Structure 1
Amino acid sequence: MSTVRRRPGRRPGSADTRGEILAAARRVFAEKGFDKATVRGIAREAQVDPALVHHYFETKEGMFAAAMQLPITPDTVIPALLDGPREEIGERLVRMLLQVTATPETREPMLALMRSALTNERAAAMFREFISNALLFQVADRLGVPHLRIEAAFGQMYGVIMARYVIKLEPMASADPEELVELLAPTVQRYFTA
């Protein structure tokens, strides 16, 4: 029985090994959450040796932080929410979140973070810090809205995303996004104007 020895150095194929590992990590975190995801499982998904994962990211936490480069940032979200009439901010928020979660490429990082926050306190702290300080409180302060109100709007949309994409509650999971905007925007708007 002969075995083929691999030569040391780069593996054959794509030169973006780090990017492939990050893409695999996003898929695994989205599917399993932080606690149940393993470096070995992510390496298997990326078709690399676990040592290579450790080389690029050192720890699972480091990989999680790198993988959670969310498809939306406060620099894009805050202006998009605040640009326009105040009485339409609820609609803009609902529409934006439905658009961001419409495709797997943008949905998976968000779901990974949301699921991980449910199962791991460190991930919950990262999520809480990002959402509160970088996004919610800035919007609340610029609008002059109490923090509790903006957290209630966020909680409403968090629940919608969980029901639609994690629990896959029907008919919400397959509802037309415009129908959801029409249904949800007035309720979310009340948090900003009541």
Structure 2
Amino acid sequence: MSLPQIRRGRRSAGDHSREAILAAARKLFAEKGFEGTSLRQVAREAAVDPAMVHHFFKGKDELFASSVELPADPAEVLAGVEMMDPSVRAEAIVRAVLTLWEGPAQHGLVAFARGTIGSKAKSGMMREVVSRAILSRVMAGVSGPDEQVLLRGNLVASQTVGLILARYVIRLDPLASASQDDVVRLVAPTIQRYITGDLDSLK
């Protein structure tokens, strides 16, 4: 049985076009956000025909996902969370975050977090990921005016990102050494308050 041939030498024009499209998409998504970016704009920025974008990517969602290069898929990490009653959702969210960050993807996640903090473009991309792929699931079904639900989601993100940075990136003890159960017990009530609790004290 013959072994598959390994491609060598210079990259093809197709490879170059795909990379140019991804580079353009990262730039525009970071600057304009997901809603403010069109496939035609990406094609113009990459100096390719719009048909070339459709050749490599089925649509804007696939292009966005390919542009971000996340170490983990938010849909898998948060699977089922949006189906839970919002009033009891926080513990599942915290446990999902801890399980992910203490699993095989930890090194990649830490590198991704550090790279995001130091890059304006990556921070812009991460903002879009948090809004579209993470908070949309975390806040699904939460009642209230749109502006208030958005604020609640921002507060959940602030608590979760703070936990990740302190425990896994900065490794601030004793939080970094605490057990998962202790972290859930201490952090989940605050996140639950942000999701469904009384926010009047913040006014």
TM bin, normalised by shorter chain, reads 0.5 to 0.7
Distance 1:58 1:79 in 2: 31
CA drift at 1:169: 0.5
Summarize the Cα distance change of 1:78–1:176 in structure 2 as closer, same or farther, 3 Å threshold.
closer
Distance 1:138 1:89 in 2: 11
Q: 1:119 is aligned with what amino acid?
A: G
Summarize the Cα distance change of 1:109–1:67 in structure 2 as closer, same or farther, 3 Å threshold.
farther
Distance 2:176 2:138 in 1: 28
- Matched residues, number: 142
Report the TM-score, using the length of structure 1 for normalisation.
0.61
> Match for residue 111 of structure 1?
110
Whose helix proportion is higher, 1 or 2? Answer: 1
Distance 1:181 1:73 in 2: 19
CA drift at 1:134: 2.4
Matched-pair contact (CA < 8 Å) for 2:68–2:125: no
Q: 1:93 is aligned with what amino acid?
A: I
Summarize the Cα distance change of 1:89–1:125 in structure 2 as closer, same or farther, 3 Å threshold.
same
Distance 2:166 2:181 in 1: 17
> Match for residue 181 of structure 2?
178
Matched-pair contact (CA < 8 Å) for 1:68–1:110: no
- Map Cα deviations across residues 93-147 of structure 1 (whole Å, 9 max, x no partner): 11110000012x3223332332222111110111111111222145435323511
Q: 1:188 is aligned with what amino acid?
A: I
Matched-pair contact (CA < 8 Å) for 1:113–1:127: no
Which secondary structure does the structure 2 equivalent of 1:173 belong to? coil
Distance 1:111 1:134 in 2: 19
1:116-127 to structure 2, matched below 5 A, reads: 116-127=115-126
Q: Structure 1: any 5+ residue segments left out of the alignment?
A: 1-8, 12-50
Matched-pair contact (CA < 8 Å) for 1:113–1:123: no
Bigger mean CA deviation after superposition, 184-193 or 128-137: 128-137
Report the TM-score, using the length of structure 2 for normalisation.
0.58
> Match for residue 169 of structure 2?
166
Match among 138, 148, 152 for residue 149 of structure 1: 152
> Match for residue 84 of structure 1?
84
Matched-pair contact (CA < 8 Å) for 1:68–1:113: no
Percent identity, please: 28
CA-atom RMSD in angstroms: 3.0
> Match for residue 59 of structure 2?
none
> Match for residue 196 of structure 2?
193
CA drift at 1:89: 0.6
